[in-house]
Chain A
Amino acid sequence: MGSEDVKLISFWVSPFAKRVEWALKLKGVEYEYIEEDIFNKSSLLLELNPVHKKVPVLVHGHKPIAESFIILEYIDETWNQYPLLPHHPYQRAHARFWAATAEEMLMEAAWIGMCTSGDDQENAVKAAREAMEKIEEEIKGKKFFGGENIGYLDIALGWIPYWTPVWEEVGSMQIIEPLRFPGITAWMTNFLNHPVIKDSLPPREDMLVYFHSRRKALSSSFQGRFKF
């Protein structure tokens, strides 16, 4: 399977798009990175993802694939080196379940926490911590969710170690309590220290500026739905 003509339409601070970068880099797949201004969407993006009009979009041999989890599966099926999903169907289902569950329960709550204050924020933080508790059980005794190596679930949850602390600072809240979540805390260090991950992270200062402006823009018109 060739790596010819692989493009990634991305946005520098999108955790969804970053997942795709990590997968490509772990597999050593060469690609062209195309930055998209999501507040002024290009005709290219609208053509490649007319249904959702969002990043990331992976384009391989002129064929677009959208939705980050779907792109991860495509990458894993197309390039066999460094498998991301486990081999056995039960373990694959397990990884998919936790990726979807964390997205629905944890990311949503953490985002709402960042955008709100008062009771709304308190409820969001509580929900996020409850979700973290469940995820803590999954990492127990393992270096990575994928075992000895970074796998699909590590990539799916990879926003936690780097985006959450930024959101915590922006929202003046705390979700990750190291004493309460020792497994996740250790995993976060392992994940961020991985050479592929470490070199791909966006600058923290820039992220803080960006998310402060998002909080300001969204807090007055917050509708309870995930808007990145």
Chain B
Amino acid sequence: MEVSWETSVEKSINTIYLLFSAYLVFMMQLGFAMLCAGSVRAKNAMNIMLTNVVDAVVGSISYYLFGFAFAFGEGSSSNPFIGTYYFALKDIPNSTYDYSFFLYQWAFAIAVAGITSGSIAERTQFSTYLIFSFFLTGFVYPVVSHWMWSSSGWLSPSASDLFIGSGAIDFAGSGVVHLVGGIAGLWGSLIEGPRAGRFDAFGKPVPMRGHNATLVVLGTFLLWFGWFGFNPGSFDKILVSYPTTSDQGNWTGVSRTAVTTALAGSTAGIVTLFGRRLLVGHWDALDVCNGVLGGFVAITSGCSVVEPWAAIVCGLVSAWVLIGLNIVALKLKFDDPLEATQLHGGCGAWGLIFTGLFAKEEFVVQVYDSGASGVSRPYGLFLGGGWNLLGSQVVEILAIVGWDSISPATVGTHTRVIRRKHGPGTTQTMRGFRTGS
């Protein structure tokens, strides 16, 4: 049966939209590589950048072979815990999923491993990192995304049988991507311990500044740019009209999502600027960059279902969450070179809670029921939507922390670490030469 012209138009437009969003998300790999490179000492720059490249290339293989299947596989027997179909993209494309969807999800999957590499930077054996990255992208992360984003997932808001009548709303992955990456990084970092010299003999922290602030800013802006694919692109399709309106559809939701994203990051950046000025006495560009990113991480969960003014609230709180967690980390002698656990884990968790408080019913119905009339859904507590959504969000946080802690820990216990008190870092010994100054 020939495809109708009308269907061709619709699919072409949706594919263009999703593919270009996927390319933007892929740019975030570059952004994160630059952020990492600039944030570590010069002697470890090659190492951290190689881990970022490796995340992309190794993750591609594992996600293609089985990661995508675990995440979105729906065969005749759909399983709420893990997918069981589409291994090595068998039976793709079909009426539900095309290659563009796989590519988009692949771009997300490789982002997760990148996050974790930040926590364990400057002291992790490369061979261990390879194994860990393969496993995280191919198994740990896809299972979580199955729970939340597959229509058979037990926590998914698109499931036919909604968890406590709601399902958890994690639109582009504050939990699925950022919390997963952050908690995995937490365990790696805890088990490895701080970098040599990070805390002195009295337990006081010794600053270990990154070697290139320009790369940090470059990376931050590239991540911001890519986030315009990460958040709005999660609609998957742009050509879906809302039946109760005359000229609104996913294109409206997509645009609104881009706006909430920009506002949350902006607010978090400004609040961090002034917050840190109060705390440390100067205007710190690197802290502002991290603050901006924390705002994006937080809004990622609810970007499509909240009003723009709520996104400002989200960014405001996320800035303080990050500042607070950083202070706690120092007190507990926890060393995370990129603050990845605090930023992705902490702000990610806040983002999920934020959604449970501020989601607007009209938008929830637009996103998850294509704006059908007569449908009602639990929504944000502060907007009068009851406790079910917030409850689901909390369950998601607990489930992710639990799952994430069991899986990588088994790998982590076997992690061996190069420990050196003085002299060359990992880059020189393992790569043969160091970056020039």
Please indicate whether A and B come from the same complex rather than being unrelated chains. no
Which residues of A pack against B, CB within 8 Å?
A: none
